[in-house]
Chain A
Amino acid sequence: MEARYTLVLLRHGESHYTQKNLFCGFGNDADLSDIGVREAALAGQRILKAGLEFDLAFTSVLKRAVKTLFLVQETLDCHWLPVVRTWRLNERHYGDLQGLSKTETAKKYGEAQVKTWRRSYDVRPPVLDKKDPRFCSSMAPYRDLDPSIIPVCESLKDTMERMLPFWHDEIAPKIKTGKRVLIIAHGNSLRGLMKYLKRLSDEEITKLEIPQAIPLVLELSENLQPIRDYYLASEEEVKTAKAKVGVKDNVK
C-alpha cells in the first residue's frame, strides 16, 4: 500500500508537573519547564531537518501543548499557520489523582494499582468530586461547555471517546483534502489516537509509551491507515525519553 498522506504527532515538552513527577492531566494547566522549552525547540529542529512542512496545526487548550507548538513554529518559521485549539485533545482526566505525586500515590495504593490506572485501557482512576475546586467547569476554557460533558475522571477509553469525534469531524477531513497536519497534544490523547489508527488491542495499548517532544511521523494510506510510523530521533534517544515519562515495565 502506498503512503498518501503524512501526519506528524508531537507530545508537548516537559512541564513543571513532569519535573515534580505529579499527575498533571486535563485540569492542570502546567507550564513548560526550562527543559521543556529546550525540548520543544529541539523537536522543531528535528522536523526542520526532516524537511517536513505543514498547512495546519491542531492542539489542546492546555498551555504546555500550545507553547510547544509556538516554539516549533518559531523554529520552522511558520507562525502564520492556522492553529485550531480544542479541549478534545486535552490530556486524559486523572480524576482525584490530579495534582498528586505519582510516587506517593504508588506508596498509598501500590505500584500495580497505579500502573493499572496509568496504562490500562478501561479502568478509571478515583472520581473527582464536582464540588472539588479542581473540577474544571468554572475554568475559562470550559465555561461555555455543558457541565455534563466536562470529565471528572477518565480511562483511556473515555479519553478516546471524547477525542475521536474531533478527529473524524475536523482533522481527518482536512488530511483528506491534502492539508499537511501537525498535532501537538498529550501522552494519552496521542496514545488514544494511535490505538485507533493502528487498531491496537486493549492489551497492546497498555504497553505503548509516547515520549515527550519527539516528533512521531505517520505515513498514511488513502484511508488514513498508518503504513509506517517512526520517530525523528535515534532508538536510544526515544528509549531514554520514554523511560523519563513511561511506566517502568514498558521501557526495558
Chain B
Amino acid sequence: MATGYSVVLVRHAQSEFNRDKIYTGWCDSDLTSDGVEEAKNAGKILCEYGFEFDLAFTSVLKRAIKTLYFIQDELDCHWIPVTKTWLLNERHSGKLQGRSKVEVLEQYGQEQVHRWNHALHEQPPPLAETDEHWNGNDKRYAGLPFAPVGESLQQTLQRSLQFWHNLVVPALKAGQKPLICGHGCYLRNLLKHLDSNCSTGKKQLETPNAAPFVLHLDSDMRPANLQFLNRHGNDIVLFKRSRDS
C-alpha cells in the first residue's frame, strides 16, 4: 500500500518590513537580527525532529533565501541542491509595496484592504515604472512573462501551484524529501488550493514567520494531515482528512 508523501514548508523569518509593518511584496527586505534567530530556531526544531532533506526550494527574495541558509546550517545540509524561483516569491503588492500598512488602511479603508487580502481577483493599485520599488529592471526578473505591477491573489496562487505541480510533485514522486522556504500569501492559501475540500475551519492558514509545518499527502497527492512543529513536542495539527473523504 502506498504510504503517501510529506513535505516541510516554512515561511521566512521576520524581515525589516515585517517588523515595521510595511507591505513587502517583491521588495527585497532583509532579515532582522530577531529574524536570524527565528530562522536558526526553525532549523533547530527540524533537527530535533530528525528531518533530513534532499533538496530545497525558495524564492529569489533574500528573506527566504537567508532563512533557508540558517536552517541548512542547523541541519548541516549545505550540500543539498537549492532551487530559487520567482514562482515562490511573495505576492506582488503593486503600489502598496514599501508603504505602511497603517497608512494604507487609513487611505483605502478596511473593506478595500479586506478585499485585497481575500478576494481572488482583486488587484492592488499598479506599481509605476518610475516608483522607487519598481523591479522591472532587476536582473533576476529578466524573462519575466509579465510586467511586475502587482498581482491578485489568484495570480499568485496560480504561479505557486505551477511551481507545486512542475517542481514539487515530480520530486515527491521520485522519492525525494523537499524543504520549501517561502512566503505568507500562498502558504496561507496552500491547503485550500491543493484541495478545495480541505478546511482548517478558518478562511486562511495562519503562517507565523519561521514556524515550520509538515504537510502529509496521501498516495493521490491530496492533503491528508498538516502539523505545525513545536519545540516542546505539542505539535498543532490543524487539519486531518478522514479516511472516507
Report which A residues bind B (CB closer than 8 A): 29, 55, 61-63, 66-67, 70, 77, 79-80, 82-85, 140-141
Contacts and interface: CB of A to CB of B under 8 A. Distances in A.
B202 interface: no
Contacts of A82: 84
A79 B62 contact: yes
Contacts, number: 35
A29 B60 CA distance: 27
B139 interface: yes
A70 B52 CA distance: 21
29 contacts: A29-B76, A29-B79, A55-B139, A61-B78, A61-B79, A63-B76, A66-B78, A66-B79, A67-B78, A70-B69, A77-B62, A79-B62, A79-B65, A79-B66, A80-B60, A80-B61, A80-B62, A80-B65, A80-B84, A80-B140, A82-B84, A83-B84, A84-B81, A85-B79, A85-B80, A85-B82, A140-B77, A140-B79, A141-B79
Contacts of A140: 52, 77, 79
Give chain B's interface residue range (CB within 8 Å of chain A). 10 to 19
Contact of B81 (A67, A77, A80, A85): A85
A63 B78 contact: yes
Contacts of A63: 76, 78-79
Nearest to B83: A82
A243 to B, nearest CB: 29
A29 B139 CA distance: 33
Contacts of A66: 78-79
Interface string B127-155: 00000000000011000000000000000
B226 to A, nearest CB: 27
A145 B4 CA distance: 26
Interface of B: 52, 60-62, 65-66, 69, 76-82, 84, 139-140
Contacts of A67: 78
A111 to B, nearest CB: 34
A55 B82 CA distance: 16
A55 B60 CA distance: 13
Contacts of A141: 79
A77 B60 CA distance: 12
A98 B15 CA distance: 42
9 interchain residue pairs of minimum CB distance: A61-B79, A80-B60, A141-B79, A66-B78, A63-B78, A79-B62, A80-B140, A79-B65, A70-B69
Interface centre among B61, B79, B140 (most CB of A within 10 A): B79
A77 B28 CA distance: 10
A84 B61 CA distance: 18
A43 to B, nearest CB: 18
B20 to A, nearest CB: 20
B84 A62 contact: no
B84 to A, nearest CB: 6
Given A61-B79, A62-B79, 12 more contacts: A55-B139, A61-B78, A70-B69, A80-B65, A80-B84, A82-B84, A84-B81, A85-B79, A85-B80, A85-B81, A140-B79, A141-B79
A245 to B, nearest CB: 22
Contacts of A80: 60-62, 65, 84, 140
Contacts of B139: 55
B77 to A, nearest CB: 7
Interface centre among A62, A70, A77 (most CB of B within 10 A): A70
Nearest to B139: A55
Contacts of B84: 80, 82-83
B218 to A, nearest CB: 26
A29 B140 CA distance: 31
Contacts of B82: 83, 85
A195 B63 CA distance: 39
Contacts of B65: 79-80
B169 to A, nearest CB: 20
Nearest to B140: A80
